[in-house]
Amino acid sequence: MNYIPLYVILPLLAGVIIPIVGRKVKFIPALLTNLVLLFLTILTVLFILKGDFFMVYKVGGWGIIKGIPVGIFLVVDALSRLVLLIVNLIGLCAGLYSISYIKKFTGEEKYFALFSLMIAGMNGVVISGDLFNIFVFLEIAAIASYALVAFGIRKEELEASFKYQVLGGISSMMILLGIGITYWAFSTLNIADVSSLLRSRNPGRIVFFIQALFLMGFGLKAALVPFHSWLPDAHSSAPSPISAMLSGVLIKAIGMYVILRLFFNMFPVSYKTSLIITLIGALSMIIGVFLAIGQWDIKRLLAYHSISQMGYVVTGIGAGLLLISKGQDLSLAAFAILGGIFHLYNHAIFKGLLFLTAGSVEHRTGLRDMRQIGGLGQKMHLTTTSSLAASMAIAGIPPFNGFFSKLIIIIALLKAHYYMLSFFAVLVSVITLSSFLKLQRYTFFEKLKQDWQQIKESPFWMTSSMLFMAMLCLVTSALIIPGIRERFLSPAVKALMELGRYSLNVLGQ
């Protein structure tokens, strides 16, 4: 049996059933959402443990007719399995956290219905084998996220959602224009088919124009500089579990993942495009951290650091692309890409956790300004421990997972003689550490203020989710160990490095 459609069918069904049943049976929305996410997480882990294999599902049985892929192809390879694990695992943690968190809002069934639709959209983007269905699922995820950002219906939330929608609409317009020109140029939207056609003909200038449209469109979804302006408002205004999903998952699933898929597995690798991607990554890494350092609002500080940490990912991936485009050491290119993918996975965990701990603080104090809080470490021990673990991970302090992925990226940059990039990578890590020392000091380790003398730890579901993710910040460091790395990360690198493999596996030609 082919299980690929379940990644979309189950959360879509949950999104339809929850508004109907949820009003009458109050526990159904949270229970159904989390059961779906638990099942999909377990299914993805089993896929990963099965080893490096390729799965294709042809919707309706429509496959290849006279050499033309006329049907809708759903594809799962090593890279998509890793991103599916990110989406559903972090989604499960955010969903469990939401059981307690969402009680301060009304319309619990609406929240979980939108949450399920967002999951369905992200999963759909990851498994889609053609550009049009990527766009369809992207819009499902994006529209659900617009509503979730504004879920509290306060002025700042509505304003942030409006800004997010406007820039999201511009992004979608660029992507749709790129899809239209792709179909005009190649008469197909199947990623593998376009890749096969590009290998057999001279790409021409039209391909660079399509690449520019997709890089701007999906770069805006991934909140890369200079397309980042929507992120600080949207991520800081949303309910905290949604902030964790937006920053830890959404910008990866509908932004970074598609960039990886298209620029490795569809378009031919070129030096000019690789250089642009690397420069965008470096600018995101540097500008994001300098915008973050002066923030006193906890969630805005975390939002700006999302821009910076995605810059690390893109810098590592871009360095690998540059080495491939110049025909240089491919093993070094694979090493740089490994660092980028490892940091993509790590960032989902520690940044998701940081937003959950910020939500725990806001849940008990009603505040996000660090200067007004202080001393919570004496009362909220589990939240403090979780926040400290995530802060050390994002700052790259061993033995937490962020240290190892950053180290791989920096070593790869040094070996490739990109000394300036490696210098900035180290500098940004130092500034990141200073940001999170500030967060820990002012929020948890200052003298306890009189206002917080009677404060209590957050409820069970919130603290259990945070502690589980804090544990992951340590446990996923084990992915650096060769035997484990070959099982989880190396197949994803291989899926990108073997440029024609995707097309061959999908089309058989």
pLDDT in tens, 207-243: 999 999 999 999 999 888 888 778 888 878 888 899 8
What pLDDT was estimated at residue 91?
94
Residues with Cβ within 8 Å of residue 200, at least 6 apart in sequence = none
Q: Which two tokens stand for residue 308?
A: 């910076």
At a CB cut-off of 8 Å and minimum separation 6, what does 476 contact? Answer: 345, 346, 349, 401
Q: pLDDT per residue over 433-475, tens digit each? A: 999 999 999 888 878 777 778 888 888 999 999 999 999 999 9
Q: Which residues contact 53 (CB under 8 A, 6 or more apart)?
A: none
User: For residue 180, what are its two tokens?
Assistant: 């239209």
Pairing mode, if any, of strands 68-69 and 64-65?
antiparallel
CA distance 63 to 280: 38
Contacts of 385 (CB under 8 A, 6+ apart): 467, 470
For residues 259-275, give the mean pLDDT.
Answer: 90
- From CA 335, how far away is CA 356, in angstroms rounded? 32
Rg (CA), the chain: 22
Distance of CA 141 to the CA centre of its chain: 13
Q: Which residues contact 274 (CB under 8 A, 6 or more apart)?
A: 318, 321, 322, 324, 325
For residue 116, give every residue at least 6 positions away whose Cβ sits within 8 Å of its Cβ, in sequence order, or none. 11, 12, 14, 15, 18, 32, 33, 36
pLDDT at 368: 84
Q: Give, in order, the Cα–Cα distances in Å from 21 to each of 14, 28, 49, 270.
A: 10, 7, 36, 52
The answer, yes or no, to whether residue 110 has pLDDT greater than 80, is yes
Band of residue 1 on the pLDDT scale cut at 50, 70, 90 = low
239 preceded by cis ω (within 30°)?
A: no
| Residue 163, CA distances (Å) to 70, 215, 232, 475 in order | 38, 20, 11, 38
Q: State the pLDDT at residue 278.
A: 94
Are 309 and 252 within 8 A, CB to CB?
A: no
- For the cut 60, the answer to whether the pLDDT of residue 509 exceeds it is no
pLDDT of 387 strictly over 70:
yes
Question: 87: closest CA among 175, 7, 171, 172?
Answer: 7
pLDDT for the residue 80: 92
Two structure tokens written together for 463: 């603290």
Contact assessment for residue 137 and residue 128, using Cβ atoms and an 8 Å cutoff: yes
pLDDT score of 344: 93
The string of pLDDT tens digits covering residues 185-206 is: 888 888 988 888 887 777 678 8
Quote the tokens at residue 59: 């919707």
d(CA 442, CA 247): 23
Q: What is the mean pLDDT of residues 320-340?
A: 90
- Residue whose C-alpha is closest to residue 299's, from 219, 244, 223: 244
User: What is the arithmetic mean of pLDDT over 489-495?
Assistant: 90
The per-residue pLDDT for 348 is: 93
Share of the chain above pLDDT 70, in %: 99
pLDDT at 63 over 80: no
pLDDT tens for 14-57 read 999 999 888 888 888 989 999 999 999 999 999 888 877 788 88
pLDDT of 182 > 60? The answer is yes
Average pLDDT value for the chain: 89
DSSP readout, 77-109? -HHHHHHHHHHHHHHHHHHHHHHHHGGGSS-HH
d(CA 479, CA 403): 12
Name the 3-class secondary structure at 56. strand
Output 103 or 31, whichever has higher pLDDT.
31
Query: What pLDDT does 420 receive?
Result: 94
> Do residues 370 and 436 lie in contact, with contact meaning Cβ atoms separated by under 8 Å?
no
Report the pLDDT value the prediction gives residue 281, as an integer from 0 to 100.
93
Residue corresponding to tokens 């890793």: 82
**DSSP letter for each residue of 367-397:** --BGGG---GGGT-HHHHHHHHHHHHHHHT-
- Residues 397-408: pLDDT tens digits? 989 998 999 999
Pairing of strands 73-76, 64-65: unpaired
Cα–Cα distance for residue pair 202/26, rounded to 1 Å:
59
pLDDT higher at 423 or 61: 423
DSSP bridge partners of 56:
75
Question: Alpha-carbon distance 304 to 457, whole Å?
Answer: 27
Q: How far apart are CA 423 and CA 417, in angstroms?
A: 11
CB 410 within 8 Å of CB 282? no
325-335 average pLDDT score: 87
